[in-house]
Amino acid sequence: MADHKTYFDIPGEKSRELLARRQQFVARGVSSTMSVFAAKADGAVIEDVDGNRYIDFAGGIGVMNIGHSRPEVVQAIAEQAAKYVHTCFSVMMYEPYVALAERIVQITPGDFPKKAIFFNSGAEAVENAVKIARYATGKPAIITFDNAYHGRTLMTMTMTSKVKPYKHRFGPFAPEVYRAPFPYPYRMNMTPQEASDYCIAELERMFVGEVAADQVAAIVIEPVQGEGGFMPAPAGFLRALKTLCEKHAILFIADEIQSGFCRTGRMFAVDHDGVQPDLTIIAKSLAAGMPLSGVVGRADIMDAPPPGTLGGTYSGNPVACAAALAVLDLFEKEDYAARSREIGHIITHRFSQLQQRYSLVGDVRGLGGMAAIELVRDRATKEPDAHAASEVLAAAHHRGLVLIKAGMYDNVLRILVPLVVTDAQLQLGLDIFEEALSVVAEPRTATSVS
Ligand SMILES: Cc1ncc(COP(=O)(O)O)c(C=O)c1O
């Protein structure tokens, strides 16, 4: 980043032209955090069409764990595309799908026979995990959590917690979805253990007051809540939840879409707690940007729905499967889990310093390289400061850092930096982050971020 400038006047001219076309022809329902357009990307750096180069702390929302434009992945995509792009697995099968299923069952948690099936998006995989769970158990109800995010389709939107912008005016929602509290020690004013105990007790109460346990097909949980604000399940909570599931014959489904593939310092976030989910949902960093998702789990459960009940035209596309196989080769060769722990340590150390300096920083949390800070107006009341979060974002973008938010109150700054980021890039990104935070946190008399 020797050519790194300290302040970008964005959007630049070319981005402004594209923005005008976008505003005319693209529906506004799809929003964009930044006002610039990408030209190329490499590792943990993205360049926009006006030549501005950014350290990427978002990784396309947790998709680029192995980095942008890895030659091994690009080559696998090109070679597969040259052979055939699509036959539809439901019409004529192809080897990359089978090879990927073989590899995925080996690396996902669970020391029992497993099978896998592939889809396109994360939401589609969640939908199908629910279908499989319902078919296998013959039960209708699904339990999800406060602050959960599972996607934007009807079922996954229903399972998602945050109302605006995800659900507002998009009802009626799917039936038989119940919501339990998720341990969020910071906002529950509890220790992690107290929050965990409370949430397990609440589930037992739900079985009395809301839905009979024998009607519940599955509990679906993000081991580290993503969109909801980067809340890791406290140590031991997932194990306690699994025990509760076993007691009531309920399937335990881990949504590892954002937390998987070494993001949290282990291959999957449930590994921290030694939990073996009945089904695991994967997407995002599985195929380094190619649209691919999957459900993997106990062979008997996965085989419950009969032939023809699952799938889709593009599901498990061969080019996407080839990309995923190349990604898995990289995960085998390099210890990204260790790198994620290292990155997480560096980030949270810096964030803790910022917390000491600025009262705006209410909470610092995360697991490995999935780290975040939560901004508040007042530490005593914990009133969320979404406005400050937006200001920090804009200041960061202008200084060459791709940064995104999360949180029920839009006040969480989250890091999903590609795990191939160099130490120098990471430090530069954190320097920019710190500067962006300081211009917002220091006396609001600062009239300009330039
Ligand atoms: C935990 C989790 N589940 C599901 C989804 C939905 O995935 P997709 O956007 O690919 O449909 C996401 C996306 O951010 C996610 O983070």
Digit-coded pLDDT (tens) for 297-323: 999 999 999 999 999 999 999 999 999
Atom of ligand 1 nearest to the CA of 225: 1
Residues paired with 363 in a beta bridge: 374
Q: In this prediction, what percent of the chain has a pLDDT beyond 90?
A: 97
pLDDT on residue 449: 38
pLDDT on residue 442: 83
* Location of structure tokens 């996965």: 302
Tell me which DSSP letter residue 310 carries. S
pLDDT bracket for residue 444 (50, 70, 90): very low
The maximal CA–CA distance of the chain, rounded, in angstroms, is 65
Atom 10 in ligand 1: which residue has the minimum CA distance?
122
pLDDT bracket for residue 290 (50, 70, 90): very high
Pick from 408, 413, 296, 293: which is nearest to 358 by CA? 413
The three-state secondary structure class of 378 is strand
Residue 218 confidence (pLDDT) above 60: yes
CA of 290 to the centre of ligand 1 (A): 14
Residue 198 confidence (pLDDT) above 90: yes
**Dihedral, CA atoms, 430, 432, 438, 439, nearest 10 degrees?**
-160
* Low-confidence winner among 69-73, 97-101, 197-201, 439-443 (lowest mean pLDDT): 439-443
The three-state secondary structure class of 261 is coil
The whole-angstrom separation of Cα 370 and Cα 417 is: 8
Atom of ligand 1 nearest to the CA of 293: 10
CA of 113 to the centre of ligand 1 (A): 26
Atom of ligand 1 nearest to the CA of 126: 4
CB crowding 30-39: b at 16 or more within 10 Å, else e: eeeebbbbbe
The CATH homologous superfamily of the domain defined by 13-62+335-441:
Aspartate Aminotransferase, domain 1 (3.90.1150.10)
* Location of structure tokens 């200001």: 391
The whole-angstrom separation of Cα 134 and Cα 122 is: 19
CA of 357 to the centre of ligand 1 (A): 34
CA of 285 to the centre of ligand 1 (A): 11
**Higher pLDDT among residues 14 and 447, named by residue:** 14
The whole-angstrom separation of Cα 230 and Cα 426 is: 20
Atom 4 in ligand 1: which residue has the minimum CA distance?
150
CA of 122 to the centre of ligand 1 (A): 5
φ and ψ at 332, to 5 degrees? -75, -35
pTM over 0.95: yes
Atom 8 in ligand 1: which residue has the minimum CA distance?
122
Residue 445 confidence (pLDDT) above 50: no
Instruction: List where CATH 3.40.640.10 sits in the chain.
Output: 71-333
CATH class of the domain comprising 71-333: alpha beta
Q: Please list, in sequence order, all residues whose beta carbon lies within 8 angstroms of the beta carbon of residue 388, skipping any fewer than 6 positions away.
A: 360, 375, 377, 411, 440, 441
CA of 68 to the centre of ligand 1 (A): 19
Cα 443 → chain centroid? 34
**Dihedral, CA atoms, 341, 68, 108, 344, nearest 10 degrees?**
10
* Digit-coded pLDDT (tens) for 350-391: 999 999 999 999 999 999 999 999 999 999 999 999 999 999
pLDDT bracket for residue 326 (50, 70, 90): very high
The whole-angstrom separation of Cα 429 and Cα 369 is: 14
The three-state secondary structure class of 133 is helix
CA of 149 to the centre of ligand 1 (A): 7
pLDDT on residue 4: 60
CA of 147 to the centre of ligand 1 (A): 13
Atom of ligand 1 nearest to the CA of 226: 16
Instruction: List where CATH 3.90.1150.10 sits in the chain.
Output: 13-62+335-441
pLDDT on residue 401: 98
Ligand 1 pocket list (CB less than 6 A): 61, 121-123, 126, 149-151, 222, 226-227, 255, 257-258, 283
Task: Choose one of 258, 285, 286 to mutate for the ligand 1 pocket test, by most ligand atoms within 8 angstroms of C-beta.
Answer: 258
Atom of ligand 1 nearest to the CA of 259: 1
Atom of ligand 1 nearest to the CA of 227: 16
Task: Choose one of 144, 149, 230, 370 to mutate for the ligand 1 pocket test, by most ligand atoms within 8 angstroms of C-beta.
Answer: 149
pLDDT on residue 446: 42
Q: Which two tokens stand for residue 390?
A: 């937006």
CA of 226 to the centre of ligand 1 (A): 9
Amino acid at 196: S
CA of 64 to the centre of ligand 1 (A): 14
Indicate the helix (H) or strand (E) that contains 231. strand 231-232
Cα 317 → chain centroid? 22
Pick from 85, 149, 153: which is nearest to 124 by CA? 153
CA of 280 to the centre of ligand 1 (A): 13
pLDDT on residue 447: 42
The whole-angstrom separation of Cα 350 and Cα 361 is: 12
CA of 446 to the centre of ligand 1 (A): 37
pLDDT on residue 5: 60
Atom of ligand 1 nearest to the CA of 152: 11
pLDDT on residue 6: 79
pLDDT on residue 2: 44
Under the phi-then-psi rule, with left for phi > 0, alpha for psi from -120 to 50, and beta for the rest, what region is 138?
left
Tell me which DSSP letter residue 415 carries. E
Task: Choose one of 142, 257, 314 to mutate for the ligand 1 pocket test, by most ligand atoms within 8 angstroms of C-beta.
Answer: 257
Atom of ligand 1 nearest to the CA of 148: 1
